[in-house]
Structure formats: structure tokens, C-alpha cells
Amino acid sequence: MSTIEPSQSLSEKVKQLHSQINQYNHQYYVLDQPSVPDAEYDRLMRELLAVEQAHPQLKTIYSPSQKVGGQPLKAFSQVSHQVPMLSLDNVFSTDEWQAFVKRIQDRLASDKSIVICAEPKLDGLAVSLRYEQGLLVQAATRGDGSTGENITENIRTIKSIPLKLIGESGIDYPDVIEVRGEVFMPKASFEHLNDIAKKKGEKAFANPRNAAAGSLRQLDSKITAKRNLAFYAYGLGFVGDLSPEGLVLKGQPFLQPSHYQRLCQVKALGLPMCPEVRLLDDQQKVQEFYQDILTKRDGLSYEIDGTVLKVDDISLQEKLGFVARAPRWAIAYKFPAQEELTTVEEVEFQVGRTGAITPVARLKPIFVGGVTVSNATLHNQDEIERLGLKIKDTVVIRRAGDVIPQIVSVVLDKRVDGAMDVVFPPVCPVCGSKVAKAEGEAVLRCTAGLFCQAQRKEAIKHFASRKAHDVDGLGDKLVEQLVDENLINTPADLFNLTEVDISTMDRMGIKSAKNLITALEKAKNTSLAKFIYGLGIREVGEATAANLANHFCTLSAIQSASFEALQQVDDVGEIVAKNIVNFFKEEHNSVVVSALDAIMTWPNIVIKSADELPLAEQTFVLTGTLSQMGRSEAKSVLQSLGAKVSGSISAKTHFLVAGEKAGSKLTKAQDLGVAVLTEEELVALLAKHNYPNIVDTNKGKS
């Protein structure tokens, strides 16, 4: 062994590692507030172990490498473990796993294949359950391996843990037996818990492991009972002998010679065992198990972060023994990390098909979750503020399965002096138009919906849709083709298309082209209400468009209407009014609207007297199948008489018109006490107002 003293820098490095690991231990085990991903912690611990192995004189009894976990919380009484609850060493690759097997074979002086008991590595909290005379008398956390916390009352609330073992003490099992296993929170329970927290405005848990730990450390066991925790046994601790018969039960030794068999024993006593546990007789099967569990990972009902591989033969376990912090006969073969640390190099802004401007973090490339990740969505400004993110920050990046990578948190103690605030663009980064954020929304949007390259496909699809201008033959795929080949950029460009343009597209022959041109010619004749709806202004649906048309009567009046004037229109509140003002204020939109106005025509709207609007201030809802007129026809007639026609039932609805096969709307109307009209009663009402015998074969459905 070398007697050369290590350099001062190496000593300082060890002190630094001690400090950092102790800090992370405290955050993870005591505070239940992990600040870095497991992969970063594992790296630091492996670095410390390597230094201590190379320079044993640097290893002290105070080193984190000599501890299993963290300090017990003082809120619970302490429990001393009769048999220490140790941790596991980790391997991260096939080579490291094979090296582990080689060490075992060398220590046993045998090259025979070793039978392995393989389990998923549950992401929960290790506990020890003590049964005396078959009754659960004590439960404890692992703590620091020798001393844990008494969490008996909380463990009693977990439905999968029996309060009494199956069988008879002294006959089916020893008078004292400790079962060890993992308490965890199923994914569904975790999601439910966080949903409740969000609704209450409370802080959500970062992950199921943290949620399980926090639930077990509740002083009020009633809270724990509501958390729906689960448990899987993974082994035995102390097995006592209070009866004269000793451990020979039913004439046979109680303890089986196989780790897997002992798990089956525990299961027979009434404690759950993970259904994915397997007995494997060679290394190739171990690798296959690892890959199989990795593939199943996202589909499992609980979180895992690797596999646990144990020598199955108990006699071999005893020969192999332990090191200070872990058994030599077991290892955790961990999956590629789902969380890693990296740096935010820049934040760029993308524009979606609805105009939403989304910040995207450009990251220093990092391998996480089995792939190299170089960017992550930041969603909106509120998310950036929640994270407290700056450019150049070190962040925790997470990728689980096929989930889009996301930034979990910022590591504030790694923030550099040159970190910069994220500044949102004042104009659309695609088209340079104005941007706006609607009240109550977190999303910033481009206001040039008719012009912006990022939105043009959706704008044109909406313009040609059935409820707008109903351009027959102009499907979504054809719109995308026309835009991709730069034949159209805005809805107005549709009317410049020729038969030659269209016939050259895929699956579009001469006849299809002629039909589409005819449909476009027909679409030029519309109504002001349909024209307004077809513009795709946010929150302006059919009913609102009709109300705007009937109130202002002309397009120019709508375009020039003030924020206050717009709110005088039925169903137009502050948000809708602001959307309309912002839409027409955007110069690029106005250019397209002017081009459409020059092409399309609609009848003048004549302002009717009160006598001509006998159904004014009354709201109707139509449902079911009408036999004497189509629903669209009935809607049009009702609106011409001043009625408002809504798509949904509320307490403010005056009449529900129920045709054949009326469904849930009829039930809701009856519950709310809304008057229900049959089709015959509707016809009679319309006849009363000089609309007799209107028949339409186009029948509507709810």
C-alpha cells in the first residue's frame, strides 16, 4: 500500500463530496425534498467510493459511504433494527453486471452459473414489519440502517399489509418474524393525490417516491389512510424463537434454503409479493429480464428505476457476506436515468397552429431516459415563473418513456453570475405580427390568424368548414397540399385557384377540380354571420357571429366597433370583445379581410322593428330529429324572429324543442324545469308568427 500522503486538492475534493452528499441525503431522506436526480447522487457517491478505495487513509467513519440513508425524523420514536437494514450497490451497464458476477464467482472459487432471484426495483420506501404471535406489533423505516422511525400506526392503514398473519403462531410461522419490503404509491394514486392538491392550490409532490415517504411520515394516520399506499415484500429480517420448538415447524425447518422460496413463504402468510419476481438460472436470462422489465416499465401500475438481482441460494449469501453498507450477494441493476442535470443554453419561441407562442429551452445535449435530449418545452410564461428559470441555469431534466422531455426544477445553488431572464417576444417570431395574452390565459398568441405561416392551414380549414362557407370537396388533406405547394397562403387565395392548379394535385382529376371551382363560386355568396364566423376569431362561434351581424349589420361597423360597443352585443364579454378588437387591429388580418370582402357578397341586413321580432329575449335549444324541417332551418327561422338559439341547456334557457330520439338535453331540461316543446308545438308557434308549413328534408341530429 502506498504511504504517500494525498495532495491537499484531493483532500479538499473528498471534503467537498462529503458536504454535497450529506446535503443531498438530508434533503432526500429527512426533508423529503430531493433537489437533484438520483443519477447525480449516484455519480457523486461512486466518485467518493473510488477515491476512498484508491486512498484508504481518506476514508473515515464519518464518510457518507459508511451510511445507508439519512437521519430519522424526530417526530417519531426511534426503533433499533435487530438485523441491520442495508442498502444496495448499483451497476449501470452489462459490463458492470458481469463484473459483479465475476467477483461473486471469484469469492466462491467457482465458475458455475449462479441462480438469481430477480425483482423490479420499486421506487418507494423500505420498511420492516415485526409480527409477534402473528400480530403486527411494530413497523419501522430503514432510517440509517441501524435505527429507523416507528411508523406502526401509519403502516396499519395500508390495505395490502395484514394486521394478522395467515396461520397459527408456532405452527405455521415463528412467534417473532420481521418482513421487509417496499411501501410505494401506485401511479394512479399519485396522480389523484396531485389532482386534489392542484384543485386546493397546494404544492404537488414531485414523484411517487416522495409522495409515499411524505405519506408515511404523517403524524396523523388518518391522512396516511387516504393516500392509498401499497406494499411488496422483498425479504426477511429478524426471525425469532420464542417457542420451545424453535424454528422447526410441522417437523420441518421453517426457513427455506432459497431466497425466492422465502418470498413465497411470506406470500403464503398473507403479505403481497411483486408479481414480476422471477427465478433465473443464467446471465443471459438476467439480461432478458432486465430488458423485459425496461420495456414494461411505463405500463406497470407503479414506478420502478431498475432491477434488483440477488443470489438465490441462502447458503451462498451467507458465504458471500456483507461489506459495510451493502450485501455482496445482491445488486441494483439500474435503468438509464430518467432525470439528469444539464444547462439551458438558450430559449427560443415556436408558434403553434392556433397561434400559441411556446417557449422551448435549448439544452446542452444530455443522455437521459435512453435518448439524447437537446430541448424541452417550457409551456408558457407562468411555467417559467413557477420554475424561476433563467438562461444559463442548471436544471433537472426528466424523460419518462416516450414522454416529451420536461424541466422539473432549477438547481439554484449552481446558478452562474451571467444567468439571464427569459424575455418573451413583443411580436410573433414567425410573421412579425402583434401578440396578445387573453385575460385568464397563460398563453401568449399571435393575433394574425389569417396571415401567419404557422396558422394558415388551420385558418383555411376553418374558413372552408361546413358551419362556415361549406366548400364541398376542400378537405383537410387538400388544404395541406395546396399550402405546402405554395398555391394558397390565406383564405382569399382560394378564389384565385384554377382548374389546372387543382387537377395537378394528388387524387384530383379534371372532374374533381371543376366541382371544387363550382363550390368556391357558390361560397362567394354567403351571409355576414357566416363571414364573421369563417374568420376564425378566438371565442367567436356561430351564435356570437350571428349576434354581431344582427347588432352592427355591416362588416365595417364590426371592424370599427370599440371595446365598449362590442360588449353591448348579446353574449360578448370582455374577453371576446378584446379578441375581436385585437383581431381587426392587426394589419395583416385586415389585408386578408379586405381581400375577402372584395370577393364575397351577402344580403344587406335590414333592421327589424320590435313587432317583427316577437321572440326577442327568448332562448331556444334544439335537440333530436325534426321531421317537418331541418334543425338548421328551424334555427334560421327562430333567429329571424329574434330568438337566440343555443347549443346547450342552462337555467336561462326558455324552451327546449325536442324532436325524435331526444337524449340528455331533454333530461337536463326536465331537471332544470325548462319548458319543452314538441315539433308540432314549434310548428304551431312559428305559424302564429306567419311561418306556416315549412318543410325541409334535411333532418338534423343531436
CA-to-CA distance for 503 and 509, rounded, in angstroms?
5
- For cell 420499486, name the residue: 122
| Amino acid, res. 231 | F
- Identify the H or E element spanning 289: helix 283-296
Residue 130, helix vs strand vs coil: strand
Start-to-end C-alpha separation, the chain? 86
Strand partners, 169: 173
172, three cell numbers: 405455521
- Pick from 127, 238, 263: nearest CA to 175: 238
91, three cell numbers: 451497476
User: Residue 669 half-sphere exposure, CB side, CA atoms within 13 Å?
Assistant: 23
Query: Helices 574-585 & 587-599, crossing angle to 10 degrees?
Result: 80
Burial of 535 (0-12, 13-18, 19+ CB in 10 A): buried
Strand partners, 122: 304
Strand partners, 395: 342, 410
Q: Is position 121 annotated as part of the catalytic site? A: yes
- What would the DSSP string read from start to end of 330-365? EEEEEPSPSEEEEEEEEEEEEE-TTSEEEEEEEEEE
Residue 509, number of CB atoms within 10 A of its CB: 11
Residue 272, number of CB atoms within 10 A of its CB: 15
Catalytic residue among 59, 102, 121, 226, which?
121
The answer to whether 419 and 393 are in contact (CB under 8 A) is: yes
Residue 258, number of CB atoms within 10 A of its CB: 17
User: Residue 398 half-sphere exposure, CB side, CA atoms within 13 Å?
Assistant: 14
- Pick from 538, 402, 516: nearest CA to 469: 516
| Amino acid, res. 412 | L
**What is the CA 84 to chain-centroid distance, rounded?**
38
The answer to whether 576 and 548 are in contact (CB under 8 A) is: no
474-478 LR contacts (CB < 8 Å, sep 24+): 474/516, 474/519, 474/520, 478/505, 478/508
User: Residue 427 half-sphere exposure, CB side, CA atoms within 13 Å?
Assistant: 8
689 Cβ partners below 8 Å, 6+ apart?
614, 615, 641
Query: Helices 208-216 & 187-199, crossing angle to 10 degrees?
Result: 80
Distances (CA, A) of 22 to 27, 33, 42, 47, 82: 9, 14, 13, 14, 26
- The residues annotated with a catalytic role in the active site are 121
